[in-house]
Each structure stands twice: as C-alpha cells, then as structure tokens.
Amino acid sequence: MEVRDKLYINGAWVPSTGQGTLEVVNSTTEEVMGTVPEGTPEDVDAAARAAAAAFGDWSATSVEERSKLLGRVQEALAARMDEIATLISREVGMPMTLSGMIQVGLPLMSFATNAAQVLEFPFEEEVGNSLIVREPVGVVGAITPWNYPLHQICAKVAPALAAGCTVVLKPSEVAPLNAFILAEVFDEVGLPPGVFNLVTGVGPVVGEAIASHPLVDFVSFTGSTRAGKRVMALAAESVKRVALELGGKSANVILEDADFVKAIPAGVSACYLNSGQTCSALTRMLVPRSRLAEAEALAVTAAEAFTPGDPFEATSRLGPLVSKAQQDRVRSYIAKGIEEGAKLLTGGAEAPEGLETGFFVSPTVFSEVTNDMTIAREEIFGPVLSIIPYDTEEEAVAIANDTPYGLSGGVWAGTQEHAEAVARRLRTGQVEVNGGSFNPLAPFGGYKQSGIGRELGKYGLEEFLEVKAMQR
C-alpha cells in the first residue's frame, strides 16, 4: 500500500488544505494499492503562485543550465526504471513486457531529446529590420490522463522546462502514483523551488481551478474531447492559450493491393496496444469488400493470440482495463455493436475465462460494421476492432474522413507510393504508412475534434514559446 499524503508545492512536500483522499486501485487485483490527497482550489492557488514567483529566475537561466538539469532528470528516472514500470503496470494494467519500453522508455526520451534540442533551437532570428525572439509562455498548467501516465506528463513537462516555463501539474487521479516519483526526482536533482508543482485531485475541482487560474498563462491538456471542451471554455475566460490532445477514432485503410498477411495482424496490434486504451489506436479497419472474408479470418487469428492475463505473467499480451468504470463502458459498447447489427467474429462482453477478478475485457472483433454505427463513431478505449468493408478506394477515403476526429490513421498498399498518395488524403495528424513505426520526434496531435497544437520533438517545444518582434 503506497500512501502519498502530501503535495509537492514550491520545492517542498506539504499537506493539502483539504481533508479528502483518493484511492488508487490495482487494475488486476481490484485491491486498493495506494492513496493520494484530494487537492483543492486553494492548493492550486498556492502552486500557481509558487510557479509565477519562480518564473522570472527560471526563464532567465541559460539553455545550457536547463539542458544539464533535464539530463540529470533523465538519468535519475532511468535509475528507477524497474520501479516505475512495475508501478504503472499495477496502476494501468499494461503487460510488463511492454511497460518498461513504453511507459518508462518514452518519458526518458522526452527528457533526453529536450535536453539536446534546446541547445540547438533557434530562439532568435532576423527578419528585415526586426529581431524575432521566442520566449517562454509563462506558467503552464498541465493536465494529464491515465493511459500513458508518465509519458503524457513528461511530454508536457520536459519541453515546458526546456523552454523556460514553470509548471503546475494535475495527473490523472486514476493513475497518479508515478507522478510522485517524478516530483521526487526533481527534488533530488535540485530543480529550483516553484518551477515544478504537483497537485493531485479530480478534474472538476483541481483541473478546472488550473484552467481558470489568473496566474496560469497556458493550459496543456490531454484527455477526452468532452473534458477538453470544458478546459477550452474555462481558459477562454482569460484568453489563455491552450494545447489539447483529445480523442480519436482512427481509420486503418487496407488497400486492395496490400499484403494482407502482414497488414491485418499489424492492424489488430495497432488497435489493441495497452488493451486498446490508446487515443491514436487504429480502431476502424477498412478493407475491400472483395477480400473481406480473408481479412476476417486473419483478424480473428491475430486477435485470439492476444492472450488476456495478469500483466506480470510473461504469457499475457493483453492486460486489464484501468478501472471498473472503463470495463463497464467498453462492455456496453460491445453490447451496442451487437444490438446495432454488427457481426461479432470473436470476443464479446463477457469476462475472459478464468479472469473474473480484474478489469478484463476479451479481445473483440466486429465485421460488417457500417460507419454510422455507434462503435464506428465513438471512441471506445478498449480492445474492440471494427472492420468496415468498402467497394472503391474513393469510398475508403471518404469513410476514413467521415469522423469528428482526426488524430491518427494507417494506410497499407502494395507500394509505398500508392500508400503515401492515399495517406495524403486523410484528414488526420499522423498516418502510419505500410506499418511505419511510432516516431517520438515527430509532431503528435490532431485535426478537427482531436485537438489543437502538437506535442513531441521541436514542435512540442514550440508550443511553450511566445513570439516577440523587436523592430530596430
């Protein structure tokens, strides 16, 4: 049982001004594994004031100094890699075989890449008689989700600190314990007081207090589209800048000339990563009607190889969902798919055999899905794949783009040229072309209701900068 009874504000561990605590539940055993303080608006106010007071000195530090500090953070996190991976697998349910590489590897990369790129970034340029200067935006309010908890924190905090900003962080109350390790690391490496502040709590209280606080200059939010709209509305009251990374319903377009033996299993994996709890998951698989039966058979074989089980067992390829609420939500979508006439190929709403404890959902594949069905329109956030047949390439592109979202996508074709030509027609922030792997230096973010702004690489750093023109 991990009891965290203090917040990290102004370089010190302090009690919350409130009396409440929030329980953190192990997604595999359903047992309470820890508690954190239920923060208050008064806690946010103290954190925002500390961040505002620290901004002047921190923003004036040299890029070399900030780079060295980020490097020390990366080293300190790496030293605790096994501890962090184990903790996140308990919180979220990702199998340990992936947790170290993804749930800890990506945060390490965020600090390493920002430590390097801040030294090369063009903070000043001359345009005619003007000197164009890029300066830190100020106090950043970071509000992060539970599915890749430390990665989403570090994808905001590392570039914010590199840019010279100070931070008030609210991690997800569902998986907050890993954020305390990051705060310990900042304390250990000597980050000046007030530069990073941690306030745990629920979104309608702590999240809204951050988004509306007059001393917060910029809000970076990752989470549901519904919550993102609320953050944006609150930020608009004081005309704060926002970056929003929201939901997705990404299409994986398998073209007639694609290698189905490679494309279909890869597509199932791209849907099921982290038990489908991935905003950029390729949850709609578009296949030519002429090859639908072939695609169905390959998808079922691939899906049934995703063995559900304890994330600490080497044979498990699919861990539990993060919570009972999430399990109930995903099961209700599966039931809705059946009710609306989709063809259930494998899986279903029942718990996998022998896994009645833990928030497990069977790997599920539907076929003969039409793009107006609920399971094709709404983000499910579970291991549920919808196969949608199409008749022409033109129709496939139209179906792929017929969504309020635009976060990710995929295209498989017989040649790279064919795949890239179709990828250019998708209205989405990222496209995996013939199985191209995730690039943590490439911009990540969405079109339409998938969000505003970009994270990762130099594009992520730019989000935390303002632009000033000095005429000479």
pLDDT of residue 27: 96
> Token pair of 418, please?
């064919």
Is pLDDT of 344 > 90? Answer: yes
pLDDT of residue 68: 98
Confidence grade of residue 29 (pLDDT, cut at 50, 70, 90): very high
Asked whether the beta carbons of 319 and 102 are under 8 A apart, the reply is: no
CA angle, 103 then 242 then 440, to 5°: 30
Give the phi and the psi of residue 143 in degrees, each rounded to 5.
Answer: -125, 120
Asked whether the beta carbons of 282 and 387 are under 8 A apart, the reply is: no
Catalytic residue, chosen from 154, 279, 432, 463, is: 279
pLDDT of residue 54: 98
pLDDT of residue 222: 98
Residues 6+ apart with CB under 8 A from 307: 315, 316, 317, 318
Domains delineated in the chain: 2-246+449-471 (3.40.605.10), 251-439 (3.40.309.10)
Question: What average pLDDT does this structure show over 253-264?
Answer: 98
According to DSSP, the residues that pair with 125 across neighbouring strands are 132
pLDDT of residue 439: 94
Catalytic residue, chosen from 38, 91, 173, 245, is: 245
> Token pair of 63, please?
């890029």
Q: What is the pTM of this model?
A: 0.96
Is pLDDT of 276 > 90? Answer: yes
CA angle, 141 then 193 then 147, to 5°: 40
Active site annotation includes 23:
no
- Tell me the Cα Rg of the chain: 22
pLDDT of residue 51: 98
CB neighbours of residue 302 within 10 Å? 21
The rounded distance, in Å, linking the Cα atoms of 258 and 125 is 46
Percent of the chain having pLDDT more than 70? 100
Residues 6+ apart with CB under 8 A from 141: 48, 167, 168, 170, 210, 211, 213, 216, 218, 219, 220
Is pLDDT of 430 > 90? Answer: yes
Active site annotation includes 245:
yes
Least confident of 98-102, 250-254, 368-372, 467-471: 98-102
The rounded distance, in Å, linking the Cα atoms of 146 and 411 is 28
Confidence grade of residue 358 (pLDDT, cut at 50, 70, 90): very high
Residues 6+ apart with CB under 8 A from 316: 95, 97, 307, 308, 309, 310
Residues 6+ apart with CB under 8 A from 109: 440
Is pLDDT of 331 > 90? Answer: yes
User: pLDDT (tens digit, 9 = 90+) per residue, 114-130?
Assistant: 999 999 999 999 999 99
Confidence grade of residue 360 (pLDDT, cut at 50, 70, 90): very high
Is pLDDT of 351 > 90? Answer: no
pLDDT of residue 374: 98
pLDDT of residue 451: 96
Question: What average pLDDT does this structure show over 138-161?
Answer: 98
Compute the mean pLDDT over every residue in the chain, rounded to the nearest whole number: 97
